[in-house]
Amino acid sequence: MMDNPRPREVLARPVETISADVAARMKAWYVLVRQMLPAAGAGIVVTLRDGQIGQIFVSSGLTQEDKPALALAVAAAAKQAEPVVQQGVFALPLHRSGAVYAALAIQLDVKDSQQRSVIRLLTWAERWQRLLLANDTPAAEPAAETPSSLALLEIVLAADALEVALLALADQLAARLACERVALGLRGKNGFRLEALSHGMQFDRRSQLATALAESMDRLQEEVLFWPGDEALKPLLDEGKPRSICVLPLGSDAAMVCERPEDQPFSARELAALQEQAPLLGAALALKRGQDVQVHQRALAATGGLLQRLTGSGHRTAKAVTVALTMILLALVLVPGTFRVHADATIEGRVQRAVVAPFDGFIAEANRRAGDTVTAGEVIAQLEDRELKLEMRKSASEEEKLDKEYRRALAAEDRSEARIVQARLAQVQAQTRLLREKLDRVQLSAPVAGIVISGDLSRSLGAPVERGDVLFEVAPLDEYRLILHVDESSVAHVAAGQTGSLTLTALPGNSYRFTVEQVSPVFTEREGRVSYRTEGRIDGEVPVLRPGMEGVGKIEIERRSIGYILFHRLLEWLQLKVWLWLP
């Protein structure tokens, strides 16, 4: 066993270079190896001589930070003379003519459960590179040309689908081995299954030939089967036609059957070369097979693996998480709860009375303002009456004057004059009554006992008002109306007669019951969303309530599963989107 190489000397000192031919072959070999490995990172192939690491003659993705880890892995692999894994780096020594002449190191981001498969694949790759670099020796007997490993691997890896790769590989093997027929099969649940025949031959898997080929592959263990010699291959002889047959495993999940004329038996050299290449070809087919699996098959495979982990020994954390998730899912589906619709709420007085200006005038006094409690008939404001009183005196004086003229006309028995004066007197008397009524309405009184919900004239003394202007609004304190602004996405669930609970912003610790009375078709837009005005009645007396208070109301709809209560908005959104997408 060689001494432990010194990893710090990688790229540090010059060593002899390998031949250009070997370097070219190794670069091509390294490229194909990287294609077969998942999530490959930085990698190198270095020379080894006299127990020391020499020159890097193949590399990819290499940075200064990667060199120490790769060098340490190479040193460990050279010391142990076998593949090693450390710090995410896979390394193995490379042999030529029975001696270690180089080493491969490559970073791979794989799970712990995949490390064994990766090491096996690297071991097959190492055997393959021995074949690439082996010295050609003359054959003792004529034989067909041994297929090139690089060419066969390129065919398999370059194919877009597994079926194409199998057909191309069968044709290439038949051409290079001078075979009349080459059959390739893959292992399934119930044994091997015929997948491809060379020369574009069509076949039915239920036919006698396909069944015989599959059965011959099933008889494989790890050794090659021959005819003449193995009676198990006798069913492959078509109508007793003599021929040479070889059944060879390609890894653990693939196999091939090669058929030649009887006068061209398979040579030992050909079989040795095929056996060297077979594991690598099998690994390439397995890789292509995994890439070609359909989505639903991958899902089924993943589900099967998950069930195996859950039903097998160990994996306590996964089992505990699965049980917890199952319990949560069952609770969401089976446990019922009260489905409620939330809505912004506002308190309004059931009756709101307005105090308006009876005539044009000016504000003289303001005794109350919004928020004050008033009694029925209480004076809350007063208009200016000075001009009215002056007009009243003027009208009274005019009335007294006309009354004297009327009496004088009666005394003079001047009836026409008396009628004229009487008409003028009636007009002045009407004016006097109007002024008197205005004086009586100068004081503005509360129409009902309650609270002033709008109006503040304390800062408008002397300001003019016009007839009909609303100066105050008064609402009673014993009758309220609840207004709920129900979002358009939830209004379909709300109906008259449903009950709910109300919590006010001013009284967050209290909850009040209410009953829905009417769902109005009138909608409003609040903060960019459409909401419908829904009226409700607060049950019982609540002396602390005041008109204008706001809060949140929850309308109780019915009993539904907790899952529906939590995710019904998402479900309704998905239903709408699916309906939009459908033609």
Quote the Cα angle for 176-178-184, to 5°.
75
Higher pLDDT, 418 or 134: 418
Sheet holding 443-445, edge to edge: 443-445, 379-383, 361-366, 464-465
Collect all residues with Cβ–Cβ distance below 8 Å to 389 and sequence separation of at least 6: 439
Whether 147 shows a pLDDT value over 70: the answer reads: no
Cis peptide before 476 (omega within 30 of 0): no
Q: Does 547 score more than 80 pLDDT?
A: no
Quote the pLDDT of residue 146. Answer: 45
Query: What does each C-alpha distance from 381 to 280, 342, 464 come to in angstroms?
Result: 103, 42, 14
- pLDDT at position 138: 38
Angle (CA) 379-382-384 rounded to 5° is 160
pLDDT band for 298, please (50, 70, 90 cuts): low
Cα gap 501→552, rounded to integer Å: 9
Name the least confident of 20-24, 417-421, 459-463: 20-24
Lowest mean pLDDT of 46-55, 211-220, 325-334, 377-386, name the range. 46-55
* Residue 36: Cβ-neighbour burial (10 angstroms; 0-12, 13-18, 19+): buried
Q: What is the pLDDT of residue 4?
A: 46
Residue ranges and CATH numbers for the domains of the chain are 7-133 (3.30.450.40), 149-292 (3.30.450.40), 298-334 (no CATH), 353-472 (no CATH), 479-581 (2.40.30.170)
DSSP state of 78: H
**pLDDT confidence of residue 44:** 86
Q: Which residue has the higher pLDDT, 314 or 275?
A: 275
Angle among Cα 102, 25, 46 to the nearest 5 degrees reads 25
Q: How far is the C-alpha of 371 from the C-alpha of 453, rounded, in Å?
A: 6
Residue 20 has pLDDT above 80, yes or no: no
Residue 555: per-residue pLDDT: 92
Quote the CA–CA distance of 72 and 51 in Å, as a whole number.
14
Beta bridge partners of 472: 355
CB atoms within 10 A of CB 377: 11
What is the pLDDT averaged over residues 214-233?
Answer: 74
What pLDDT is recorded for position 6?
A: 44
Would you state the structure tokens that stand for residue 406, as one six-digit string?
A: 């009327």
The segment with the largest mean pLDDT, out of 8-17, 252-261, 456-465, is 252-261
Distance separating alpha carbons of residues 44 and 57, to the nearest angstrom:
8
Write down the pLDDT at residue 554: 92
pLDDT band at 137 (very low <50, low <70, confident <90, very high): very low
* Range ranked top by mean pLDDT from 62-66, 215-219, 255-259, 350-354: 255-259
pLDDT (mean) for 275-295: 74
Helices (H), 219-368: 268-292, 295-311, 316-334
| CA 409 from centre of chain | 104
Indicate the length of the chain as a whole number.
Answer: 583
pLDDT, residue 553, reads: 92
H-run or E-run covering 530? strand 529-538
The C-alpha atoms of residue 482 and residue 459 are separated, in whole angstroms, by 32
CA gyration radius, the chain:
51
> What is the share, in percent, of the chain residues with pLDDT greater than 90?
1
CA distance 301 to 578: 29
> What does the longest C-alpha to C-alpha distance in the chain come to?
173
Q: 382 pairs with which residues across the strands? A: 365, 443
Check if the beta carbon of residue 374 is closer than 8 Å to that of residue 452.
yes
